[in-house]
Structure 1
Amino acid sequence: MSCLPCFKKKAESPEDEVPVAQSKGISTTPPNPAEPFHKGDNVNSNAKTYTFRELASATKNFKQECLIGEGGFGRVFKGTLQGGEIVAVKQLDRSGTQGNQEFLVEVSKLTLLKHQNLVNLIGYCADGDQRILVYEYMPMGCLNDHLLDLKEDKKPLGWLSRMKIALGAANGLEYLHETANPPIIYRDLKGTNILLDKDFNPRLSDYGLAKLAGGGSKTNMSPMMMGTGYCAPEFEKNGEHTLKSDVYCFGIVLLELITGRRAVDTTRPANEQNLVAWAQPYFKDPKKFPELADPRLGKSFPVKGLNQAVGVTAMCLQDEPMVRPLIGDVVAALTFLTMPQPDDPIPSSPPAPTPTSNIEKSSPNNEDQESSENEDQGFSDDEDQDYSDDEYEDSESDQQNDEKVHDKQRSQKVSDKRKSQKVRDSQEDEKASSEYGYGSASGSSEYEDSGDDEQQNETAKSAKYSSHSRHKSKVKSHAKSISGSSS
């Protein structure tokens, strides 16, 4: 005999004639566990209570055609409420579930959890021995539908989309670990529990269900989780599951996003069936990191970003829990990876300018460098005499205001320098004679023996001219140096 007709008779009793999906409890704080709960009482103002009849009608009496998922905690159906709202109805496995009071206490805690990367718990049903949770519906399904169970006519997820999904899942896990009070251990993090909304934003589901399904011992875990490849080493050894165990499970999900492989795939060769064991040799050689990339990505991923993602994955999959990072550190690393990165390398900065002389610093632009270098190479002092300090300042102003005039002046200047080169050579010869002739045997005999007054006068003039020219050149260079430093 079906239990549904019996329930109908019970539902027709006067005490159950209450509008469906209406909040009757107004308390905003979790109830005292010592106080008994009455059927229909709501735990807080955010949660709604539903009757079994309403949820059975929404899911067409929980028919197979409405089934959208099944896990260790129970089955999930797509339902349409009386007002047209589409919801996900999770019918928990009744074997091992808590009593009515304990169930409502745990539901009160879950309804207080609000985060953009968590699936919102809308309400619940606790009629008789039924334990049903009502969540908001995620139209895009779970992560595995778009990563591992992708149909041939669908385009695979791009690299940036994968990293954004990883970041969103990490944000949700960080909220459970570091914001929720007390912290909540997920225990069942995997691709099928990462749902996607219409904008492909990831939402974690089934969080906090361990206590609802089996009494809340620290060793309790989804029965179907054993042997799926999502177990941390410490759980397999001694049945302990901690916050760092969640980090390990997240590392497996991140590795699935990178490689496009399942955590356990019996269709592959024996040495590739376990994803973590297959990837361990690659973790030890950074040069092999690109070989872990999903072949469906082709070359459409930044190599640097891939290397960093693999590095984060390797840290999460450390055997020792204490060595694994906190989920907050993982969030910080993934935040950088979700930023668009150019495929081409960033060009290096231009080389630093070489040190220049005071004359080069005083030039108004780069076009004066040629003439400045020529001055450093020792062009004629006569050319320097053609430009006094005032004339130099006027020329500088003209160069800034009229570029064409400056080019003509510079061309004329270079031309004059070339013409004066010969004059300079002869003058240096005369200066050499005047500077080194006095006191030398050959020089003194040349002037003493000649007794030519005219030649001695010419020599004196040359020495005087050379000394005056050098002095003026130094004064001019000093003035230019001061002008360059002040500008």
Structure 2
Amino acid sequence: MGIRSGRNVRALLSPFIFFISFFSFQFCTAIDTITPTQYIRDPETIISDGEKFKLGFYSPNNSTNRYVGIWYNKITGPTIIWVANRENPLTDSSGVMKIADDGNLVVLDGQQNILWSTNVSNPSKNSSAILLNFGNLVLQEGNSGDGINNQRVLWQSFEHPLDTFIPKMKIGTNPKTNENILLRSSKSDSNPSTGGFSVGIGSLNIPQVFIWNGSRPYWRSGPWNNQIFIGVSDMYSVYLNGFNLFRDAQEGSAYLTFSFVNESLLSKFILNSQGTLSQKDWDDEMKEWVLAWLTPEKECDIYGKCGPFGSCNALDSPICSCLRGFKPKFIEEWSKGNWTSGCVRRTQLLCEGNNTSGEVGKEDGFLKLKMMKVPDYANWISGEDVAECENLCLRNCSCVALAYDSGIGCMSWSGNLIDIQKFSMGGVDLYIRVANSELGMIFVFLLI
């Protein structure tokens, strides 16, 4: 038997080589979808089509519990942006993520107990879950691989955030549908279950971002002026590189997103277990996340630090003072640095007084405070400039302050003025309504 020539051998092996090459290509191509017949078992993963994000099982630092999470695929070490079973961890590596018989996406333990589910009330039995390249896990009807473009979306992780806000994600609220999309802090770095702080949109009349500690405000961004939040002194607007806030007047809804023209830039906002919201940007040269911004950073950033009609200035000592025309409500408390009760008027407004002498009093006026974080509970009124705002305010005895921003228009306040701060940069002019007799005085109540 003679030896075949090289040409004949190659011809004989060509179909086999093609089969092996095709199989290897199929095997090496990243899978981004979970279907009724294709699931993942710990420690298997799926990877988004552009290989930017990965979904799979992981354990946090200093923990042996297992969770299903999404993280950046090409960054060393898990950088978790979302967790499915944050409240119900696996205690071993028996976990499976799959499409259940009813069409929901579920996480099961080794005994087939459901630890987490998308919990869609009317899912499609022909559903699939796809990890998109911007980090969104979508449960969709069908399995075309087209993601959210052509398929009916049944559920998506971006509407159920963890503690991290990334481009194309949204937070916000719709009172008509009772939808409220919040970031919710984790209990600790080793325990992703829900902690005590949350971030969302409040004050839908003039939307603001809030950090809440439970149900109490902890920090506030100030009103949105269609470019920036005016209560964030160092915030600036760059077209298509930053925040967008979408409002529907009929629905009464408001949703905040952020994005970059260059989608290769990696940036995220994280709410930690202590209630601090920070922005971190990925530095590809240093191979690490770099802190770009955080809040609350100073005592004055804490909501209502100086109480009603008190103003906070981080450069002053003490940091709290009463607005001009006001005095501490409880002097002894105030003198000890307890500013919670705030301040009260020294002189009644003309419209509030009981004038029995028959004399005509002088009209109330406004004290102008520059570079201020405006108080909470702003109301929008129709006015084209500061002068018109003042006239409108003076006609209404309950109006105690006003401000004007070209992106918002007139803002007015009634009742207590809370969470006022003096900035060294940024902010807007705030006009405080006082009795005419206060206009000539130049002192302010500080810590007595």
TM-score of the pair, normalised by structure 1: 0.22
Relative to total residues, which structure has the larger strand share, 1 or 2? 2
Relative to total residues, which structure has the larger helix share, 1 or 2? 1
